[in-house]
Structure 1
């Protein structure tokens, strides 16, 4: 359990407020798209001057350079296209100077694809490189190495964009450090960029359809991530559509 924020802040994060992560009827109105780059205040992965091993397939020089040198675990979420809700996820682990890939998992992202300047309610996932420091879920800790916060506030009611039930979507989550305070529960509602820039962007259990902004994979894969991601190896997620990642 995480004890570093006030309990009131955790309990106030209701399932309705978290609906931006799961996809469903409570979506905020759409906002216009702005292609300015994500800024450093969007809680990206911390910088490091340590040398990087040889590149990860599909990531171009600009994207690779944004990965902190100390990162030894990289979750790569690759979208099929800028406006596609379909993607795939691969966990790479650093072995000396070589990135060793795990299995490729099917995934969903935001309903309308990806954004270089994510706004609340735009139904797009933010592109970028972000730290992975905190986890939680409705279910008991399955053996997470990241700090894990279990709470009934991870309940996910309602249905998704394609009519699929959202129940179980937040059984397991890993917070993506976009517009949030690292080192807190995924339920923490602090938004350094302000509420208009969205938040509550997670890796979570797939419900069979697009999300509002999160990346979702099967429940078994979420359990594997929780048991594998190690804060001592400084894990990050690199996420975006293929052409953006290849820059």
Structure 2
């Protein structure tokens, strides 16, 4: 299915701001909130008998100051933020020696994505445009989930998507497909943009890990290339993701993977 074109190729598709990444409080107000929250929390803890109302108020003010997000401001349409936080971006390109129609069709079937994206546990299509994503948090710290929608689709050329409101991590992405020079298959250009929770504090922390995230995307694309060109993945990666591999007397070589359907 091809959706009507809404965005130019040059236009940036940013994550949709929601409660997880939106900042709607200015810097001065944030400092006052954080300072007030710290005082209230300290006072509530030091009392002989815990004052839970003060503790709750202090915690809320701390959250308000550190995250830069106020649900009350959101509800009444008030925004005193100094400026919008620019999302972090990862951009990677790879060439896959397969026809463009085949490469696009495999990617477009969204439940294929966890087969080569190791951080994804599942992607379940909801309808023609929307899907539900589940990703594993590193170090076995659980999972995060969000819904995404396709903003634009041009068969064999591009896919643009964005998480819907209230995602755990606001994100957006674009994937472009074009014939590689010299008949070498298909060139894929992937762009991922995301905004971490907790406003400037979360974004500053995420920026420290952005190179690692970029390397993860690079490795995912490499697995995608290997899977489409050979139908195989390295044994260690298949075992890491819980997929079955055939037995072999030469463990150093790549071995065929028998994929199980996504549940």
Question: TM-score scaled to structure 2, two decimals?
Answer: 0.24
State the TM-score, normalizing by the size of structure 1: 0.25
**Which structure's CA Rg is the greater one?**
2
Q: Which has the higher contact order (CA 8 A, sep 6+)?
A: 1
